[in-house]
């Protein structure tokens, strides 16, 4: 026969949905707290409760030491030997005590500890129960509707679930004590206990309702391949039969649509389209756009997009209200759907053919222009190399002669310094270091010699001289000309003075100077032309002339645009 203690523990466990061990541990912890409140918190207390009779025993643990400093935690060897003859220094000895006359505060503390432990155990049991049920359906009763946030509190038996505004079906209203079937989306552990989040707009709710209403889905002969849902408006479900001889769509719809109608009523009139699933992506996309009839589907695997062609009279049906049908089909198949009518598809095909033809013609023209430019460039480079061949050889020989002359001059200066008398100061014996001005003068001299030799090699024929007069006239025309006012002396007369006369000899000298100047200008023009290169510019589509620029004194050339 059970004692009153056992009966009370059993009743409490059934009400709170906790195990008896949790209740016993809570009672022991409450007795320890009450003892410490009356006899000091520094003692090591252990309480043992008999699970049948409910008798409690309290034990105090103390350490055996040679000199006792704290009587609450230490004991002398003599006292320890009276309790346990085998006790030695450093051992722990438990002494049973019998506390009496607990006060009101101690009893209240014990009660609070017991209730707190039971609540914690209850919360843990609820969390463990509903954490395993995430993704399942649950039946609940509406207990509260928040007027401000529109959140609904639903009682699920031993726990309460929260139905947020975002998880509700748009346009659906809830009343007090209304029974609801919800989908358990999430279970969280909070400071006030487990928080269960329910949902009515999750696509998992539709899956679980189909499993309840369609036995073939529950048994596994028909499989749900995908669900696309817009809660409160429309949903699409793709199903496939795993056993031959079974119609997956007919199994879900039922006789006269009874099965699917029950699900529609549960979801407050939400439309549900059940389409057959297919391994062929084109067929699957065409089925997903039902009830519209599709003529052909063109897939682009790189961009994951499908172009669907439908009859002209079925375009609005395929797109749906505000594009809903096409949007759900894209979610269900995972492809971007571009719906075109038959007329639009023909126009697009013609336009693409014209664009491809124009692109081919343009590419051919560009290739011909590039080939012609390459031929012109090769011919121009050959002409330039033929003209620059002897000039480069002469320049190289002149440069070598100039270097040899400089070396001979340096050796002569060193010999003269070696023959100088010893009495001269030491500074006179050391050759002066060449300055930057000397180096520049030597460089100019070498360049002048090279230019003279180049002019001698490239002396133009009389016919070329006649042809070159016109551009030289343009060059001389750009030079400023002084205006001579009658009665006023010119700038040359002012420099020479009033006694300077112009004779025939001076005029002949001026003509010779003009001829020399023209020769120098023609030589400069030829050098300028020789320092240019011809290239084909792909951006302009023609051969352009570019100028060469001397980078340093080593006769290395760099290219620069002109």
Is residue 26 in some structural domain? Answer: yes
Residues 148 and 193 in one domain: yes
Lowest mean pLDDT among 200-209, 353-362, 380-389: 380-389
pLDDT of residue 275 exceeding 90, the answer is yes
257, part of any domain = no
CA distance 542 to 534: 10
Per-residue model confidence (pLDDT) at position 459: 45
Residues 13 and 53 in one domain: yes
91 & 66 share domain: yes
Give me the residue label for tokens 């025939």.
504
Per-residue H/E/C for 327-344: HHHHHHHCCEEEEEEHHH
102 and 38 share one domain: yes
> What is residue 122's predicted lDDT score, i.e. its pLDDT?
82
Q: Residue 169 belongs to a domain with what CATH number?
A: 2.40.50.140
CB 121 within 8 A of CB 16: yes
Integer Cα distance of 81 and 79 in angstroms: 5
| Residue 215: per-residue pLDDT | 92
Residue 205: predicted pLDDT:
94
Q: Report helix, strand or coil for 300.
A: strand
* pLDDT value at 470 more than 50: no
The pLDDT-based confidence of 471 (bands split at 50, 70, 90) is very low
Span 238-265, mean pLDDT? 91
Q: Is residue 304 part of a domain?
A: no
Residues 207-237: tens digit of each pLDDT: 999 999 999 999 989 999 999 999 989 999 9
pLDDT for position 101? 64
Q: In angstroms, rounded to a whole number, what is the distance separating the alpha carbons of residues 381 and 359?
A: 32
Query: What gap in Å lies between CA 357 and CA 352, rounded to an integer?
Result: 9
Q: Which is nearest to 143 in space by CA: 167, 186, 178, 171?
A: 178
pLDDT (average), residues 26-54: 77
CA angle 324, 327, 331 (to 5 degrees): 135
**What's the whole-number mean pLDDT along residues 399-409?**
67
The answer, yes or no, to whether the previous bond of 291 is cis (omega within 30 of 0) is yes
Residue 35 lies in a domain: yes
Query: What is the average pLDDT value for the chain, to the nearest integer?
Result: 76
pTM over 0.75: no
pLDDT reading at 9 higher than 80: no
Residues 40 and 95 in one domain: yes
3-state helix vs strand vs coil in the chain, percent to 5: 50, 20, 30
Q: Are residues 111 and 11 in the same domain?
A: yes
In the predicted structure, residue 377 carries a pLDDT above the cut 80: yes
Q: Name the packing angle between helices 4-16 and 20-39 (round to 10°).
A: 110
Q: What's the mean pLDDT in 497-501?
A: 41
More confident residue, 360 or 68: 360
Q: What is the pLDDT of residues 283-342, one digit of tens each?
A: 999 999 988 889 899 898 888 999 999 998 888 899 988 899 999 999 999 999 999 888
The CATH number given to whatever domain includes residue 17 is 3.30.1480.10
Average pLDDT of the segment spanning 374-392: 77
Instruction: Write down which residue in 144, 177, 199 finishes a domain.
Output: 199
User: Looking at the structure, do residues 100 and 146 belong to the same domain, yes or no?
Assistant: no
**Number of other residues whose CB lies within 10 A of the CB of residue 383:** 11
pLDDT above 50: residue 480: no
Q: Rounded mean pLDDT of 56-70? A: 80
Give backbone dihedrals phi and psi of 431, rounded to 5 degrees, phi first: -70, 140
Phi-psi region of 309 (alpha: psi -120 to 50; beta: other; left: phi over 0): beta
Q: Are residues 77 and 114 both part of a single domain?
A: yes
Q: Does residue 36 belong to any structural domain of this protein?
A: yes
How sure is the predictor about 165, in pLDDT bands with cuts at 50, 70 and 90? Answer: very high
Rounded mean pLDDT, 452-469 = 44
Q: Is 169 helix (H, G, I), strand (E, B) or coil?
A: coil
Determine, yes or no, domain membership for 557. Answer: no
pLDDT at 521 exceeding the cut of 70: yes
User: What pLDDT band is residue 45 in, cutting at 50, 70 and 90?
Assistant: confident
CA pair distance 299, 338, nearest whole angstrom: 10
Going by their DSSP bridges, the two strands 56-64 and 44-49 should be labelled as antiparallel
Q: Phi and psi at residue 339, in whole multiples of 5°?
A: -95, 130
**Quick one: 141 and 97 in the same domain?**
no
Largest CA distance in the chain: 160
261's tokens = 């109608």
State how far the Cα of 30 lies from the Cα of 109, in Å rounded to an integer: 7
Average pLDDT (175-179) is 91
Domain end call among 125, 142, 169: 125
Q: Could you tell me which of 205, 227, 232, 237 has the C-alpha nearest to residue 137?
A: 205
Task: Give the β-pairing of 92-97 and 56-64.
Answer: antiparallel
Residue where one domain finishes, among candidates 106, 125, 144: 125
Q: Identify the residue with better confidence: 201 or 532.
A: 201
User: Does residue 493 lie in a domain region?
Assistant: no
Q: How far apart are CA 180 and CA 266, in angstroms?
A: 9
Range of the domain at 150: 133-199
pLDDT of 422 above 50? no
153 and 143 Cβ atoms separated by less than 8 Å: yes
Kindly report, residue by residue over 196-211, the tens digit of the pLDDT.
Answer: 999 999 999 999 999 9
Q: Is residue 400 part of a domain?
A: no
Regarding whether 139 and 100 lie in a shared domain, the answer is: no
Place 271 in a pLDDT band, splitting at 50, 70 and 90.
very high
Top pLDDT among 75 and 374 is at 374
Work out how many domains the chain is built from and give that number: 2
Type and span of the H or E element at 62 = strand 56-64
- Look at residue 453 in the predicted model and tell me its pLDDT: 42
Closest CA to 144 of 135, 154, 134, 159: 154
Instruction: Report the sign of the C-alpha dihedral through residues 20, 22, 23, 29, in that order.
Output: positive
Q: Return d(Cα 222, Cα 240) in angstroms, integer.
A: 6
Which segment of 485-494, 505-514, 537-546 scores lowest on mean pLDDT? 485-494
Whether residues 182 and 87 fall in one domain: no
Same domain, yes or no, for 142 and 111? no
Which region among 70-84, 134-148, 232-246 has the lowest average model confidence (pLDDT)? Answer: 70-84
Distances (CA, A) of 317 to 290, 341, 546: 9, 11, 65
């Amino acid at each position: 026969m059970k004692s009153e203690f056992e009966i009370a523990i059993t009743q409490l466990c059934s009400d709170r949905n906790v195990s008896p061990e949790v209740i016993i541990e809570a009672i022991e912890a409450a007795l320890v707290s009450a003892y410490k409140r009356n006899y000091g918190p520094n003692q090591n207390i252990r309480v043992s409760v008999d699970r049948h009779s409910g008798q409690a025993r309290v034990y105090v643990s103390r350490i055996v030491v040679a000199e006792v400093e704290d009587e609450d935690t230490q004991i002398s060897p003599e006292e320890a030997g009276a309790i346990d003859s085998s006790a030695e220094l450093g051992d722990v000895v438990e002494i049973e005590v019998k506390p009496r006359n607990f006060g009101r505060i101690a009893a209240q503390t014990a009660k609070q500890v017991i209730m707190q432990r039971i609540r914690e155990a209850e919360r843990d049991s609820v969390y463990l129960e509903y954490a395993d049920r995430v993704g399942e359906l649950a039946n609940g009763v509406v207990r509260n509707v928040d007027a401000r946030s529109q959140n609904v509190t639903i009682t699920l038996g031993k726990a309460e679930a929260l139905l947020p505004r975002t998880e509700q079906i748009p346009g659906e209203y809830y009343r007090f004590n209304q029974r609801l079937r919800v989908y358990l989306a999430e279970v969280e552990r909070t400071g006030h206990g487990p928080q269960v989040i329910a949902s009515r707009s999750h696509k998992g709710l539709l899956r679980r309702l189909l499993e309840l209403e369609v036995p073939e889905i529950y048994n596994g002969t028909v499989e749900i391949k995908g669900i696309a849902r817009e809660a409160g408006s429309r949903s699409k479900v793709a199903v496939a039969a795993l056993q031959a001889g079974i119609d997956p769509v007919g199994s879900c719809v039922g006789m006269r649509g009874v099965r699917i109608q029950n699900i529609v009523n549960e979801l407050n009139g939400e439309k549900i389209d059940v389409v057959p699933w297919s391994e062929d992506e084109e067929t699957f996309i065409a089925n997903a756009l039902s009830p519209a009839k599709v003529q052909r589907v063109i897939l682009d695997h790189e961009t994951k997009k499908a172009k669907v062609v439908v009859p002209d009279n079925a375009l609005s049906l395929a797109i749906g209200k505000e594009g809903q049908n096409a949007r759900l089909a894209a979610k269900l198949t995972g492809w971007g759907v571009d719906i075109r009518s038959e007329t639009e598809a023909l126009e697009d095909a013609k336009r693409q053919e014209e664009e491809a033809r124009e692109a081919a013609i343009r590419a051919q023209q560009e290739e011909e222009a590039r080939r012609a430019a390459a031929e012109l460039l090769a011919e121009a480079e050959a002409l330039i190399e033929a003209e620059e061949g002897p000039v480069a050889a002469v320049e190289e020989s002149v440069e070598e002669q100039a270097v040899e002359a400089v070396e001979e001059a340096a050796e002569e200066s060193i010999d003269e310094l070696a023959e100088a008398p010893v009495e001269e100061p030491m500074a006179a014996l050391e050759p002066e270091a060449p300055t930057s001005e000397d180096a520049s003068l030597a460089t100019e001299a070498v360049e002048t010699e090279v230019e003279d030799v180049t002019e001698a090699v490239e002396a133009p024929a009389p016919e070329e001289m006649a042809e070159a007069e016109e551009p030289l006239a343009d060059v001389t025309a750009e030079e400023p000309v002084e205006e001579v006012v009658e009665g006023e002396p010119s700038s040359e007369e002012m420099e020479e003075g009033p006694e300077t006369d112009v004779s025939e000899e001076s005029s002949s000298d001026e003509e010779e100077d003009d001829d020399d100047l023209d020769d120098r200008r023609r030589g400069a023009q030829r050098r300028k032309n020789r320092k240019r290169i011809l290239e084909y510019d792909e951006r302009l589509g023609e051969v352009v002339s570019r100028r060469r620029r001397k980078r340093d004194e080593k006769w290395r050339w760099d290219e620069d645009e002109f």
